Structure 1
């Protein structure tokens, strides 16, 4: 099988578009070529890079989730870095006036609530208003694009962790996502996409032949990216999602959980692709920092069979059933992550949620088909 090349790996094919222009770039350490050279360094070497724009976690990846980022100067390249994750999430008109073309190169994880998507969405709107073209250097989806999961986001839950009616696991590359929102929501951006080479929708991360570079501090492994689809919902609860440990989103726990009982109850569901192990951990930061937590770790034994959204729903259900101390500590955030209030309110039980999610996600897959760049 031919190795996959991301958009940055074919950047020389776009010299006609890039040469002679003042370039602004949205990127971070996940933006690298096959040889692990930073995209911003490649663009600065071969073209006229005049501005950098920092998403969540910063241009060099040195900020934690949610941490505000300030404007700065990149020491290595000596160009200004403008924050897109703090008090300002949009590109100011004056900043756009100083560039001729904006380049986007970030590794997404295939989850609706990953903020890089909406940094791109805002940038497309800003570019459209000011007539600045935007080039997306497309990247593989580490979850693959063949499977979609989860309910659609409702309008009342729109936020910077979800703006459009798409499933939790939406089955598109970031370039396809940009094509979809540009057309379906009338953004009107002059959009260019540098597609991946040799990529197919059903390819897993391991099949791509590419190195894993953590797209953000708490997605350290391909397993954490896949399980994130189902366990990110715990951000809205008093249960630790594993932040502050070496296995964020892979292990879930709290001081009040009976780990062995939870493991036994989950095993009864016989969910495909995952084995649950009772575990105990002490986070170094985040929820319960310095406290002993009890829970489970999800061990993926078949990534193609695993449906992480389904697994996450049953995990949440069993913790709620078992633990009287369980609480929704950030209910609005939980609703935004899930897409509506049906899970938190109990308005739908888990089988009903999963049945609706299957209908809605499959419908989305078909509706997004006109914007695909890659075949099955």
Structure 2
């Protein structure tokens, strides 16, 4: 009897040890998987970092650069640190650690003796501090003394005089993959102007944080504007480099011209790779959540609804004073701040929804625009028709929302155009 108890106890102990070991192994595997994911993300090497691949294009050339605050080269800097003894609060062992740093592309190339003649500045300016839609002025960069030529002021396309004396133009701007995000329009005009003057363009590619899907209404050419120049969906699923190839290949430049184009591709990147942007791509896209929601909430830019500008949660909420506060009870008051001197409904309480914790990945949605419209106390105040059409790329979407169509019904009308675009897009993809 005692032997049986002892034997059963031993067997139970062995079973518990095996079970614990199995769980421990499972935890180790999970930890390794998480660690691998982070490691895989960290080894993405953007085009700008691969100087060995493009310095030969620039040496001995007179260079123009299209850049903003995201045009950086990432670096690891070794620094010495001292451990502090928590009991004595005294320094103990000195050791070396690696710190993530970055330098601006312009600064780096100048330090490498590249002959940069001027910088071309897109919407939001060279240092990325200008409000959306606000004119960017020509000037001099105080750090480098380089002349800055605005491409969001008097002209959005460089003139012959502005390109005069240049042998090559470098384009390096972080995009977010949405048609009305104007950097791809700037890319078009740079390529067009350079093709006219016989100047090659060098694109330093960067990941698209919304590059893992294609969605939204396709632009109708009759609604072409700087908010959308080509017949593409609202979310195009391409990097800047891939998109440049599409502009050339589809002959979208004036008179069907093609630009001399070289793309420095990204290492260790696919369209399914998660990429967290290390810098704001523009003043009102402060984090990953805003960037994920931007394709959906960006449509509010064509309405009289505030999409979080004038708060610290840009494109993570929406609201307006004419939305029924008994239906959508979340409220906030926009104020002037960085990136929004004059936000919609400045100083007025807005009612709507807080979306900072909303899960949305791999598609855009119309549900919030529809919900806001349906709960507007005065629907005549909702749309800024001309602006909404420019953002949507079609006048059909406003009519569909006003007619009470559901999101499913509206999205069904997009599918043929989306499928056609996917076929065209496949010809220009660089990454899996």
Work out whether the TM-score is over 0.5.
yes
Per-residue CA distance 1:325-371 (angstroms, 9 max, x = gap): 23245211101111111121236823332112244223312221111
Looking at CA atoms only, which structure, 1 or 2, has the larger radius of gyration? 2
Q: Does 1:336 align with 2:378?
A: no
SS at match of 2:352: strand
Find the counterpart in structure 2 of residue 289 from structure 1.
346
Distance 1:318 1:55 in 2: 34
SS in 1 for 2:202: strand
Report if aligned partners of 1:259, 1:296 keep a CA contact under 8 Å in 2: no
Counterpart CA distance in 2 for 1:198 and 1:342 is: 40
- Equivalent-residue separation in structure 1 for 2:424 and 2:238 (angstroms): 12
Number of the residue aligned with 2:292: 226
Partner of 2:420: 363
Q: Structure 1: which 5+ runs fail to align?
A: 263-277
Residue by residue over 1:48-91, the C-alpha shift from the partner in whole angstroms, topping out at 9 and shown as x without a partner, is: 11110110111111211111112111111111111100111111
Structure 2 SS opposite 1:193? strand
User: 1:260 & 1:332 partners in 2: Cα distance?
Assistant: 30
Q: 1:97 aligns with which of 136, 142, 164?
A: 164
Contact 1:132 1:190 in 2 (8 A): yes
User: Which deviates more from structure 2 when the two are superposed, residues 85-94 or residues 313-322?
Assistant: 313-322
- Displacement of 1:303 in angstroms is 4.4
Q: Structure 1 or 2: larger strand share?
A: 2
TM-score (norm 1): 0.89
User: Compared with structure 1, are the counterparts of its residues 259 and 5 closer, same or farther at alpha carbon in structure 2 (3 Å cutoff)?
Assistant: farther
Q: Of 274, 284, 298, which residue of structure 2 is paired with 1:204?
A: 274
Q: Which moves more between the two structures, 315-324 or 216-225?
A: 315-324
1:187 matched residue in structure 2: 257
Cα RMSD (Å) of the superposition?
1.7
CA distance in 1, matches of 2:185, 2:65: 15
| CA distance in structure 2 between the partners assigned to 1:335 and 1:123 by the alignment | 25
The SS at the match of 2:215 is coil
Count of aligned pairs between the two proteins: 351
From the superposition, tell whether residues 187 and 248 of structure 1 become closer, same or farther in structure 2 (CA, over 3 Å): farther
| 1:187 CA displacement | 3.4
Alpha-carbon contact 1:150-1:358 (below 8 Å) kept: no
Taking the aligned partners of 1:100 and 1:18, their CA distance within structure 2 comes to 9
Q: In structure 2, what is the equivalent of residue 8 of structure 1?
A: 48
Q: Is 1:171–1:365's contact at 8 Å kept on the other side of the alignment?
A: no
Q: Name the CA distance, whole Å, in 2 between partners of 1:343 and 1:199.
A: 34
State the shift of 1:213 in Å: 0.5
SS at 2:266's partner residue? coil
Check 1:320–1:301 CA distance in 2 against 1; reply closer, same or farther (3 A cut): closer
- Deviation of the 1:140 alpha carbon: 0.3
Q: 1:217 aligns with which of 277, 283, 287?
A: 283
C-alpha spacing 1:358/1:223, structure 2 compared with 1 (3 Å): farther
Structure 2 residue aligned with 1:323, among 355, 376, 391? 376
SS of residue paired to 1:294: strand
In structure 2, what is the equivalent of residue 266 of structure 1? Answer: none
Kindly state the Cα deviation for residue 259 of structure 1 after the two structures are TM-superposed: 4.7
Contact map agreement 1:124 1:187 (CA 8 A) in 2: no
Residue 128 of structure 1 corresponds to 195
Q: TM-score, normalised by structure 2?
A: 0.78
Matches within 5 A, 1:229-244: 229-244=295-310
